[in-house]
Amino acid sequence: MSARLLQVAALALCLAVPLVPGLPSFWITLLNYIGLYAMVTLGLVVLTGVGGMTSFGQAMFVGFGAYTTAIATTRYGLSPWLTLPLAMLTTGFCAWIIGVVTLRLSGHYLPLGTIAWNVALFFIFGNLDFFARYDGISGIPPLTIGSIVFSDGASMYYLIWLTLAVMIIATQNLLASRVGRAIRALRGGVIAAEAFGVDTARAKMLAFIYAALLAAVSGWLYAHLQRAVNPTPFNLSASIEYLLMAVVGGAGSVWGAILGAGLVTVVRDQLQDILPRLLGAQGNFETIAFGIILVAILQTAREGLWPHIAQLASWVKPAGRSHAAAGALAPCGRPEPQAAAPLLEVVGLRKVFGGLVAVNDVSFAVDRGEIVGLIGPNGAGKSTTFDLITGISPPTAGEIRFGGEAIAGERSRAVARRGIARTFQHVRLVPSMSVIENVALGAHLRGRAGALAGITRLDQAEERRIFAEAARQLGRVGLGEMADRPATSLALGQQRIVEIARALCLDPVLLLLDEPAAGLRHREKAELAELLRRLKGEGLSILLVEHDMDFVMGLTDRLVVMEFGTKLAEGDPATVRANPAVIDAYLGGVT
C-alpha cells in the first residue's frame, strides 16, 4: 500500500465522521478544536521540527487572525471572506516584524522573545478599547457560501478539516521543494547551505511566517466558529500548549502534529473533568499532568510519539522519486570570469583570531585548468585559508581576486554565485536528508522556484531537472547507487565524495576540496584521483587541501606548502618534495 493512498483514505475517513449516526455533537465540537489546534501545530512542525527554531508565540498569531476578522466584520461590516486575506496579511506582517528582531539571534532568543511578545500582546488585547478589553468582541457573523450558513459545529467541521487537509498537502509540498530543502538545511547545515547560495536568514523568516500564517487561518476559523473572541485563548499558556502538542505528537512530521493536537485535546478534556472532582477545587489542574508529560516525552521519546507509531506501519511504502533524465538544468547565471587574469589570485592574505595569526600574509594563484595542492601540517591554516576564500569568515587583511575581481569580504552566498564551490574538512551534510537531496542543495542557485511554486507544485518541471542533475553528478562520482540512502548512513569517506557531487551541482568554475581523500581506501583514492583528472580535463580548476602526500604528488600541477599560517614553499611537486625545509615541516621537525 502506498503512502499517498493511505493519506487519501485517512482524509476520506475524516470527512465521513459527522455522518456516523448517533455521534454526540460534543465529539464534533472536540474534533473541530482538534482541527484548529492541528493547523497551528502544523506550523510548529515546519518551524521547530524541520527548521530547528521554536516559538512560544503561536497563540498570539492565532489571536491576530481572530481579532482581525472580529474587528473587520463587526465594526466595518466586511465580508468574512475578505477578512481572511486581511487576517493573513496582518499576521504575516507582524510575524515579519518579530522575525526581523529575533531571527538572526542564536536559538534560544526566539522562544524567549516570543514569550515576551505573547505576554505583552495579551495585556494589549485586554487593555485597549480597540480590542474591547477583556470583555472581548461578540456578534461575529457566521461564514456563508451562497445560501449555506456555517453556523453549527457539524458544518464547520467540514470547513475546518478540509482547510486542514489543504494545509497538510501544502506543507508536504513545501517541505519537498527547493525552498523546503533550504529550511531543512537550517538544522545542521547552515554553513554548507550558505556556501551553496542558500539565504538561510530568508529561509528562517519564511518558516516563521509560514507557521504564523497557518495560525492566522486557524484564528480566523476560530472566530467564526465561536462567533466571539476575548484575549484568554491567545495567552502564553495557549502558546505553550501548541508546543506541547508538537512535542507529544512529534514535530518531525505533519502527522505528528495531528496526533499531538488530538491527544492533548482529548486528554485535557478528560483531565478537566476528573481532576477538579479529585482535588475538590476548581482550576486548571491539567497543567500538572501536561508539564509532567512534556518532560517525560523529552526524556524518553524526544522525537514524539508519531515515529513510534509510524514504525508499526512500516508496511507502508514511502512515495519514491525517480531521478530519470528530465532535460538539462540551466547553468548558474553569472558573468564568466575574465579570461586575462589568473582565475584565483590570493595576495597577502591574513587572518587574526584574537591575537593568534592563523593565516600570515599568504599569496598564491590558481590558473585555469590547474590542480593546485595546499599542503602542510595540521593547524597550518589551510582550512582557514579556504574559509577566507569562500567568504565563510572575512580576512583581516589582504586581497582575493577571482577572474580579476576583488571578492575578499564577500559573503559565502555571493562567492558561490561566482562559481566557486567547496567541500568541507568536517563533512557538512544535512543528516535528515537523503544523499540525493543533499546533492540537490548544491543546485540551489540554478533553480528559481519560490515557496508559492513549491506549495502549489508548479515547480515540478524544475524540480525534476534539479534531481536529474543531482543524479547525474552522483553518477559522475560513482555513488549513483546511494541516491536514496540517508546521508549519514554512508561511510565518512563516501560522505566526502557526496560533498564533491554537491559541489559539482553548482556548475562551478573553481572547486575547493578540503581533504577529499581522508578516510578513503587505496582503490577509492585512485578512483578519486581519476575523477579529479577528468574534471580538470573538462576545464575545471581545483584547489585542494590534502594530507596524503602520495595522493597530491601524483595529481597536482603545483603545490603550496604552509606552516604556522605562513607560506613555506611553492612549486611543482618534485621541487617541493626535495625541499628539506618542507620535509622537515611536514613530518615534524623534532630531530
Q: Using the rule CB under 8 A, is 305 a contact of other proteins?
A: no
Residue closer to other proteins, measured from CB, 56 or 61: 56
Q: Which residue has the cell 540512502?
A: 485
Q: How far apart are CA 495 and CA 477, in angstroms?
A: 11
Q: Which of 305, 330, 526, 549 binds other proteins (CB under 8 A)?
A: 549
Angle at 221 between CA 203 and CA 251, to 5 degrees: 40
Q: At what angle do helices 58-76 and 236-249 cross, to 10 degrees?
A: 130
Q: C-beta of 285: minimal distance to other proteins in Å?
A: 5
Task: Find how far residue 331's CA is from the centre of its chain.
Answer: 24
What does the angle CA 258 – CA 226 – CA 208 come to, to the nearest 5 degrees? 45
- Of the two residues 279 and 313, which places its CB atom closer to other proteins in the complex? 279
User: Contact with other proteins (CB under 8 A): which of 200, 230, 432, 438?
Assistant: 200
397-402 and 344-353 strand pairing: antiparallel
Interface pick for other proteins out of 27, 142, 162, 187 (rule CB under 8 A): 187
Residue 578 makes contact with other proteins by CB under 8 A: yes
Residue 77 sits at φ, ψ, to 5 deg, of 65, 25
Site for other proteins contains 124 (CB under 8 A): yes
Considering only residues 30, 119, 263, 352, which one is a binding residue for other proteins as defined by CB under 8 A? 119
> Binding string to other proteins for residues 282 to 301, with x set by CB under 8 A, is what?
-xxxxxxxxxxxxx--xx--
Q: Which window, 175-183, 328-336, 414-422, 543-551, contacts other proteins (CB under 8 A)?
A: 543-551
Among 45, 49, 50, 56, binds other proteins (CB under 8 A): 56
Query: Mask 82-101, x = binds other proteins (CB under 8 A)?
Result: ------------------xx
**Residue 202 binds other proteins, judged by CB under 8 A:** no
Q: Which is nearer to other proteins, 3 or 583 (CB)?
A: 583
State in angstroms the smallest separation of the CB of 325 from other proteins.
Answer: 31
For 166, other C-beta atoms within 10 Å of its C-beta total 12
Measure Cα distances from 588 to 308, 359, 376, 425, 519 in Å. Answer: 52, 19, 10, 21, 22
d(CA 68, CA 176): 32
Q: How many residues bind other proteins (CB under 8 A)?
A: 89
The residue (of 217 and 248) whose beta carbon lies closer to other proteins is: 248
Q: 333 to 372, contacts with other proteins by CB under 8 A?
A: 354-356
Binding flag, residue 26, other proteins (CB under 8 A)? no
Contact criterion met (CB below 8 Å) for 558 and 375? no
C-alpha cell at 486: 540517508
Q: For residues 555-574, which are near other proteins according to CB under 8 A? A: 564
- Report the distance separating Cα 587 and Cα 581, nearest Å: 10
**Contact flag: residue 586 with other proteins (CB under 8 A):** yes
Confirm or reject binding of residue 116 to other proteins (CB under 8 A): yes
Query: How many C-beta atoms lie closer than 10 Å to residue 164's C-beta?
Result: 26
Scanning the structure block, which residue is given the C-alpha cell 559565502? 412
Please tell me whether residue 127 binds other proteins under the rule CB under 8 A. Answer: yes
Nearer to other proteins, 469 or 499 (CB): 499
Subset of 206-225 contacting other proteins (CB under 8 A): none
Look up residue 252 and give its three cell numbers: 518531525
Alpha carbon 111 to its chain's center: 18
Q: Which residues contact 201 (CB under 8 A, 6 or more apart)?
A: 103, 104
Give the DSSP H or E segment for 148. strand 148-150
Task: Please name the residues in contact with 459: beta carbons below 8 A apart, sequence gap of 6 or more.
Answer: 177, 178, 447, 449, 453
| Interface map 416-455 toward other proteins (x if CB under 8 A) | ---------------x------------------------
463 lines the binding site for other proteins (CB under 8 A)? no
Shortest CB 192 distance to other proteins, Å:
10
